[in-house]
Structure 1
Amino acid sequence: MKLNYITIMVRDIKKSLAFYQELADLKAVNSISLEDGEIVFLANVKGETMIELIEFKDAEKVSTKGMVMSFLVENDFEKLREKALSLGYTPSEIIDIGQKPKHFTVEDPDGIVVEFSI
């Protein structure tokens, strides 16, 4: 069995799109505009990672307590953290302790903790 995609009911689809496109390097692969809102599917270049962002006017929004999403960074890890800072996000310091891989975290526009590791 394989995870197909994760759906996130976002508050502002434009801000969420910018975050995942700029930092996680995901690309929009499909979008649907409806009267009440919008749906956008994002994926990595290989199509292995898929996130569905949905913004509907009166729909319940994502609750983030205890949720962490993790991305494996394949290129320059430190530059990605600097990019997050330059885009106005607040990434953590780089953490390199214990058994867990070297990583930093940053909250997406809805408060989901997103971890970038090498």
Structure 2
Amino acid sequence: MSTDPQVPPVDSSRPGPQDPVQSEAPAVDTPAAKPAPENAVHFTRAAALWSALIVGLLILIVLLIFIAQNTDAGTFHFLGWDWSLPLGVALLGAAVLGGLITTLAGVVRIVQLRRAAKKNYKAALR
């Protein structure tokens, strides 16, 4: 560093024209300058299917244990019909029937929304 008052001090922390190596060197694309690549493995439909299959099998195992432990027969009466069924099977059947009714209600709502969206889309094109 110079103590001469007419020569400005050189700031070595900033690259600039006072640094001849950086101002004259051409820009080189080095591998270190590139950003890190993204993860090449993405979550796919096949991965989702595989995960759902594993979860479904675990639920099936739990349901089979539940049915095996609840084998006492129960008598059921409905609109004049009488039948006997193991309690585990009856509860599983009720759960499946409830799920089907819920799915049916969801399908009806999806159809309604699709019709409304199609109608709005056609109206927007006019």
- Say which structure is richer in helix: 2
- Of structures 1 and 2, the one scoring higher in RCO (CA 8 A, sep 6+) is 1
Larger-Rg structure: 2
Looking at secondary structure, tell me which structure has more strand per residue: 1
Query: Taking structure 2 as the reference length, what is the TM-score of the superposition?
Result: 0.20
What's the TM-score once normalised by structure 1's chain length?
A: 0.22
